[in-house]
Amino acid sequence: MSNQSRRALLGASSLMVIAAPALAFPDRTLRIISGYPPGGLNDIIARALSQPLTAELGQSVVIENRAGAGGSVGAAAAARAAPDGHTLWMGIVDTQAINPFAYRNLQYDPDRDFAPISLIGRFPFALVVGPSRPNIRTFPQLMDAARPSPDAVTYASWGVASTPHLAMERILAQQGVRMLHVPFTGQAPAMQAILAGQVDCFPLPAGGAESLTRDGRTRAVAVLAPAEVQLFPGVPTVKSFGAPLDSGLWKAIYAPARTPAPIIAQLNAAIRKAMTSPQFIEVFRQQGAVPEPSTPEYLAEFQRTERVAWGEVVRSSNALLD
């Protein structure tokens, strides 16, 4: 082959490479990793999002539950995933803003290892008293029952240094009482425990609290929110008892770091559209919340602000883990 012919062939090959279309995204099933067991709020919201997101992206979206270590097991798995947009992470305030201060040997970095996509929403909490304490029907009665000794009343959470644990410790410190903390591996196991009378009370997201109180075996004595929560009309806020606390739970969607910006933009647009579906909005209504889609930039700044606030709470509570 002559040099001229060879150059012509190489030139044609280069043109073919330049003209070749980019790999379509998504080209296979996507997964949303959740750091908590099935049945809890994280699982409920992830599954509610997966259905309209499947329609928007044209590929199936499945949920993968990887529970353990306050959501850190799932977060580490998501951080190690290929940055191609086919693995998403349902992060929450615990995993993105609390764990960096609570765990001495955290296996991921919320800033370095994840690319923000969109905030999903914020969820108010309600403090529920279980059947083990049938005579307690108000927040002051619950505080009075705890005054005799630190072990007089027990409360559940979904883990040491979790949102309900830290929120409850702030309330108790303000009230000048102590309770025995009983951590579980997730929201659903803690809900089962309070129904079984194994623990006395539990601060949990309002939707889960409402499901516990339907048959009257448990009672909501206060809400951890700036104002009254629609699911619990007439139930006072803890702020009305002097506890300056409106702690709730927020959730957001992330991709592994180094996911290409065009894919992040495509995912953001699809998620924002999915969150307008009537089915998704109804799930939020059942949780006493409203969807809050955002830009990636807003989520990044929001997470930084939350990190500062919750870092102070963790340091004051000394809730440190290995």
Q: Which CATH superfamily is domain 30-123+249-317 in?
A: Bordetella uptake gene, domain 1 (3.40.190.150)
Query: What integer pLDDT is reported at residue 267 of this predicted model?
Result: 98
Query: What integer pLDDT is reported at residue 7 of this predicted model?
Result: 42
Could you check whether 30-123+249-317 and 124-241 share the same CATH topology? yes
Backbone angles phi, psi at 134, to 5 degrees: -65, -20
Dist CA 235 CA 222 (whole Å): 6
Q: What angle do CA 152, 161, 150 make, to 5 degrees?
A: 15
10-residue block means of pLDDT along the chain (322 residues)?
Answer: 43 38 80 92 94 97 94 97 98 94 93 97 95 96 94 93 90 92 90 96 94 92 90 93 76 98 98 97 92 97 92 80 66
Query: What integer pLDDT is reported at residue 246 of this predicted model?
Result: 60
Q: So what CATH class is 124-241? A: alpha beta
Which residue intervals of the chain are DSSP H helices? 3-19, 41-57, 72-80, 93, 99-102, 139-146, 163-175, 187-195, 206-213, 261-274, 278-286, 296-317
Query: What integer pLDDT is reported at residue 318 of this predicted model?
Result: 73
> What residue type is assigned to position 62 of the chain?
V
Residue 71 · residue 95 · CB < 8 Å: yes
Query: What integer pLDDT is reported at residue 46 of this predicted model?
Result: 96
Domain boundaries, the chain: 30-123+249-317, 124-241
